[in-house]
Amino acid sequence: MGKLVYILNGPNLNLLGRREPEIYGHQTLADVEAQCAALAKAGGLEARLLQSNWEGQIIDWIHEARDTAAGIIINPGALTHTSVAILDALNAFEGPVLEVHISNIHKREPFRHHSYTSMRADGVIAGFGVEGYGLAMRRMVSLLGGK
């Protein structure tokens, strides 16, 4: 089994494919999970996709990742713009962190233009739809020395 990568998703991403498809598309989180698992496996890594609508749960997973994961791909959803606590948790994680946003947050409401998560992220992907997760996983394979 390869190095583990956590793919963490924040509030409302459980509704992916059904919530505002004009912004977020029609693919589901299960589709994202399958795509990332295949790319991770091809790169010699293992993916664990998790989603929560609760900030504390996401923080707990980041803490858990300190002992179990080599890297984190995170889409904190709206918590991107509000959570210093998630930033602090990510700052305590030593591996690479990649931030993903399905929509281009810089073309949306002004409050979405600021990301606390970006202050820790080693890279940010926004506006590529759910394909952004695949781009992030490819980059993670490269960062972690996968195939």
Instruction: Write out the catalytic residue numbers.
Output: 24, 101
Cα 13 to Cα 73: distance, rounded to the nearest angstrom: 14
Cα separation values, 91 from 42, 63, 86, 147, Å: 29, 10, 9, 27
Contact 136, 37 (CB under 8 A): no
Cα 26 to Cα 61: distance, rounded to the nearest angstrom: 27
| DSSP per-residue string spanning 77-134 | GGGGGT-HHHHHHHHT--S-EEEEESS-GGGS-GGGG--SGGGT-SEEEESSTTHHHH
Cα 134 to Cα 92: distance, rounded to the nearest angstrom: 25
- Tell me, what amino acid is at 56? G
